[in-house]
């Protein structure tokens, strides 16, 4: 090929390349102008400068916010620990170090192992784990896996703290742990429980004495000639004092139950008919005031139960008291007792307390035997109770080896049922001279 043709071709290629660059540069400039909102012909520099300024300011604000957040996290009395997705501790505040008895700054960098140590020989063995406690590590692992976890953990430190630990996985995959010190709360709860225990114990003795005195007075009044109004007043004092004794007993029981115990039972053979009659008599006045008719249907062949007569009376009083209280429109409240045979055993005694009052919504039914559970305070005239009555009923029934259940239809009424094991029959004693001997 002649040299001038080659030179021409090279010049054409060069021109094309240079032209291509120019077009590309112009396109890029147009894009930048559009981004920084500058018209063609205007200088791009000031707009770029302003954009850079805004970016620097946004960066400063983000840093400030992160610092403020870190300051706040350091300040709060709640322990906060942040772990990354591989369960390495990224940061932990002062409270977290304090709660876990870890030297300041020693938590970041620790790693929570993927699985618990293979063998735990006992509390004497110091097992150094990621966060210093196997249960804390388990909370972190579960939160990383399932999204959230919680537990109450007794920290191993010298203060013997009880920590409530909650952990959540964040949208970025980190795990945040929140530690609250429950020790002070538990201490206050213990003080309150002891206070209630002491107070109700102290109250019960004088109240019981007043009750005995009014009972004696009621009996004495029958023998002398006093106006019926006086008899009526003394009877009312008697009934109300009975309620006070009942309340003091419930408070005492609550304190015992909160301390982890159950009401103490004094076991003996118990005839239920007089227990039922006693409870009905004590609540008759209350029932009259509520326009409720109290009835009892006791089977004549009712077996004896092995139990604590006073506690069983309390169980019935609680159920009857509720049945009357929750029958705002009046109506009948019936207490029934009948034997229920169970092959191969001495059988059961079934107690039922039936009312036709407000009933209990089906959603609440499984929970009414829980301590402090109340369906709706607004449903009862003159306020509610303590929410403890049924919890105590359950404790007493279970303490007798029995069980309690309820059937109810809202707006129609409720039937509470207690099943107690009947006492085994007393072995027959050989009569002297009957000719039987072994």
Q: Which residues bind ligand ADP (CB under 6 A)?
A: 318, 322-323, 326, 355, 357-360, 368, 373-375, 384-391, 414
Distance of CA 431 to the CA centre of its chain: 58
Q: What is the closest distance, in whole angstroms, from the C-beta atom of residue 87 to ligand ADP in the complex?
A: 44
Q: Is 391 left (phi over 0), alpha (psi -120 to 50) or beta?
A: alpha
Whats the size of the chain, residue-wise? Answer: 438
CB of 281 to ligand ADP, least distance (A): 20
Question: What's the DSSP call for residue 262?
Answer: -
Partners of 295 in beta bridges: 334
Please, which residue, 87 or 358, has the CB nearer to ligand ADP? 358
Q: Considering the complex, state which of residue 4 and residue 363 has its C-beta at the smaller distance from ligand ADP.
A: 363
* CB 290 within 8 Å of CB 325: yes
User: Measured from the CB of residue 393, what is the shortest distance to ligand ADP in angstroms?
Assistant: 7
Rounded Cα–Cα distance for residues 117 and 169 (Å):
23
User: What is the rounded CA–CA span in Å between residue 381 and residue 237?
Assistant: 21
* Nearer residue to ligand ADP within complex by CB, 284 or 374: 374
Q: How far is the CB of 355 from ligand ADP (least distance, A)?
A: 5
Task: Between 368 and 422, name the residue whose CB sits nearer to ligand ADP.
Answer: 368
Nearer to ligand ADP, 161 or 356 (CB): 356
Cβ atoms of 283 and 322 closer than 8 Å? no
Closest distance of CB 431 from ligand ADP, Å: 49
Give me the least distance between CB of 376 and ligand ADP, in Å please. Answer: 6
Give min distance, CB of 245 to ligand ADP, in A: 16
Half-sphere exposure of 66 (CA within 13 A, CB side): 7
CB 333 within 8 A of CB 294: yes
Q: Where on the phi/psi map is residue 437: left (φ > 0), alpha (ψ -120 to 50), or beta?
A: beta
Cβ-based neighbours of 321, under 8 Å, separated by 6 or more: 283, 286, 385, 389
Nearest to 262 by CA among 404, 395, 402: 395
Q: For residues 42 and 36, what is the distance between their CA atoms, to the nearest angstrom?
A: 11
- CB-wise, 142 or 386, nearer to ligand ADP? 386
> Among residues 155 and 246, whose Cβ is nearest to ligand ADP?
246
What's the rounded Cα separation, in Å, for the pair 161 and 184? 9
As measured in angstroms, the least distance from the Cβ of 342 to ligand ADP is 27
Residue by residue, DSSP assigns 366-405 as GGTTSTT--S-GGGSTT----S-HHHHHHHHHHHTT-EEE
**Is the Cβ of residue 136 or residue 337 nearer to ligand ADP in the bound state?**
337
Closest CA to 136 of 335, 373, 128: 128
Residue with smaller CB distance to ligand ADP, 166 or 284: 284
Which residue, judged by CB position, is nearest to ligand ADP in the bound state?
385
- How many degrees, rounded to 5, is the angle at CA 272 between CA 416 and CA 371? 40
Could you tell me the smallest distance in angstroms from the CB atom of residue 343 to ligand ADP? 32
């Amino acid at each position: 090929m002649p040299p001038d043709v080659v030179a021409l071709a090279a010049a054409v290629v060069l021109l094309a390349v240079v032209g291509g660059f120019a077009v590309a540069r112009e396109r890029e400039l147009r894009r930048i102008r559009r981004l920084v909102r500058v018209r063609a012909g205007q200088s791009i520099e000031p707009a770029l400068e302003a954009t850079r300024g805004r970016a620097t300011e946004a960066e400063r604000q983000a840093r400030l916010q992160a610092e403020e957040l870190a300051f706040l996290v350091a300040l709060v009395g709640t322990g906060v620990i942040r772990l990354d997705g591989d369960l390495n501790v990224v940061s932990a505040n002062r409270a977290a170090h304090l709660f876990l008895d870890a030297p300041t700054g020693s938590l970041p960098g620790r790693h929570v192992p993927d699985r618990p140590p293979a063998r735990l020989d006992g509390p004497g063995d110091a097992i150094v784990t990621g966060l210093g406690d196997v249960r804390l590590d388990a909370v972190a692992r579960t939160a990383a896996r399932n999204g959230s976890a919680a537990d109450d953990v007794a920290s191993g430190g010298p203060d013997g703290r009880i920590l409530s630990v909650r952990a959540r996985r964040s949208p970025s995959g980190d795990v945040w742990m929140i530690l609250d010190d429950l020790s002070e709360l538990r201490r206050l709860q213990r003080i309150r429980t002891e206070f209630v225990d002491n107070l109700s114990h102290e109250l019960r003795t004088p109240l019981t004495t007043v009750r005995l005195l009014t009972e004696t007075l009621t009996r004495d009044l029958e023998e002398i000639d006093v106006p019926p109004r006086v008899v009526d007043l003394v009877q009312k004092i008697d009934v109300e004092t009975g309620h006070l004794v009942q309340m003091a007993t419930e408070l005492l029981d609550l304190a015992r139950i909160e301390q982890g115990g159950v009401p103490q039972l004094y076991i003996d053979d118990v005839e239920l008919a007089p227990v039922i009659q006693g409870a009905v008599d004590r609540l008759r006045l209350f029932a009259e005031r509520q326009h409720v008719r109290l009835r009892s249907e006791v089977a004549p062949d009712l077996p004896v139960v092995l139990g604590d007569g006073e506690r069983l009376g309390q169980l019935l009083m609680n159920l009857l008291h509720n049945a009357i209280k929750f029958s705002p429109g009046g109506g009948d409240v019936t207490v029934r007792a009948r034997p229920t045979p169970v092959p191969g055993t001495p059988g059961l005694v079934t107690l039922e307390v039936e009312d036709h009052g407000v009933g209990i919504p089906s959603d609440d039914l499984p929970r009414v035997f829980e301590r402090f559970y109340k369906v709706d305070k607004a449903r009862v005239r003159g306020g509610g109770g303590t929410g403890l009555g049924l919890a105590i009923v359950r404790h007493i029934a279970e303490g007798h080896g029995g069980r309690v259940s309820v059937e109810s239809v809202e707006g129609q009424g409720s039937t509470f049922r207690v099943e107690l094991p009947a006492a085994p029959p007393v072995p027959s004693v050989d009569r002297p001279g009957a000719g039987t001997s072994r």
